[in-house]
Chain A
Amino acid sequence: MAIEPGSLSDPSNSKDRLTLPEEAKGVWSDIKENRKSGISGVVTLKSEELFAMARKSSLWPLTFGLACCAIEMISTYMPNHDFDRFGVVTWPSPRQSDVMIVAGTVVKKMAEPIKLLYEQMASPKWVIAMGSCATCGGPYTRSYSVVMGVDQIIPVDVYVPGCPPRPEALLGGVMELQDIIQNEPRKKRGL
């Protein structure tokens, strides 16, 4: 099918875009439709969704670990599980980080520094609570020194249960977070 130059910029002419089925609102189905109709190399999407794609594909977690769960987090970065294939690269400064993986027991003495680090991160930012300790206190319920879940001090987006969770579970958590990020613009519009 031949495309006339300029036909895309003329809404009355761009038949393909107007005949998209109602349910195909997602970015990927958009791309598929465009491929089918031969307009390859052109993606039509909202800028918000483009930014969301960029964000979810380069999540930089703040490098820190608090207890035993950190060992599982470290092994997730190692070649066997290879966090890098999701664009997840550790970054040792909160200023350039996008996501905070709270891996381990949050003791009350550590609560203040964690809050400070979270506040130093630039928006948009997300938090993954890894392990039972970070989600709810885990084995340290009724302890005098442990915060009953990191959600008592900072907002949490994804909870990964387990003591410790396997690296696959953390990978699952990150994929869940990617879905959340991709859906954020649509959530904002109430879709």
Chain B
Amino acid sequence: MSTDNFNQYTTEEFETATRAVLGDIKATVEPNFGELGIVCDRSDIVAICKIVKQDPGISMEYLRSISVVDWVEHMEVVYHLSSIKHMNRIVIKVVIPLEDLKIDSVITVWSGADWHEREGHDLFGVEFIGHPDMSPLILYEGFEGFPGRKSFEIPVQETFYGD
């Protein structure tokens, strides 16, 4: 690996650089446990993802995971990103209200988002707008409810064949 495209930032430098590329998008940026946390509105998520992936100084080419957190009052979608080039990590958090569990899909940015988003849909019922196929990934067709949610009640075990 040539050393000139390997750029190990300090935390402060990385924070400043990220803030600069985000420009006038409304988002809070602060370092948190060695990762850079970005909290933004859900309308900006695809724009921010595109920027942090495509900017050569940030270059978040690897989507580690998308998780959904049930905070009871609201839900939160969390994107974990890594840069293999710069050895840096970013966590983007988006709060979505319970009444309207919708967020834009980032499958156009990272195609690896496919299964993560389907899993989020399976377990929490979050709808990822723009995802081509939202059929159940882990659960079977016809499953009732969203087992990832705190409010989910575990059903009494039924048997397949009579007693």
Contact = CB atoms under 8 A, between A and B. Distances in A.
Given A137-B157, A145-B139, 6 more contacts: A108-B140, A111-B160, A142-B154, A144-B145, A145-B138, A148-B159
Contacts of A187: none
Tell me if B's interface is mostly helix, strand, loop or mixed: loop
B157 A142 contact: yes
A152 interface: yes
B159 A109 contact: no
B157 A109 contact: no
Interface string B145-159: 101000010110101
B33 interface: no
A14 to B, nearest CB: 51
A148 B157 contact: yes
A147 B160 CA distance: 9
Contacts of B160: 111, 147, 152-153
A80 interface: no
Interface in A86-129: 108-109, 111
B113 to A, nearest CB: 22
Interface of A: 108-109, 111, 137, 142-145, 147-148, 152-153
Nearest to A108: B140
Contacts of B157: 137, 142, 148
18 contacts: A108-B140, A109-B138, A111-B160, A142-B154, A142-B157, A144-B145, A144-B147, A144-B152, A144-B154, A144-B155, A145-B147, A147-B160, A148-B157, A148-B159, A152-B159, A152-B161, A153-B160, A153-B161
Contacts of A143: 154
A158 B154 CA distance: 30
Tell me if A's interface is mostly helix, strand, loop or mixed: loop
Contacts of A153: 160-161
A111 B157 CA distance: 14
A144 B157 CA distance: 8
Nearest to B136: A109
B151 to A, nearest CB: 13
Contacts of B152: 144
B157, B159, B161 — which one has the most chain A CB atoms within 10 A of its CB? B157
What are the nearest 7 A-B pairs in CB distance? Answer: A109-B140, A152-B159, A144-B147, A148-B157, A153-B160, A142-B154, A152-B160
A74 B152 CA distance: 37
A109 B135 CA distance: 14
Contacts of A152: 159-161
A121 B159 CA distance: 23
Contacts of B161: 152-153
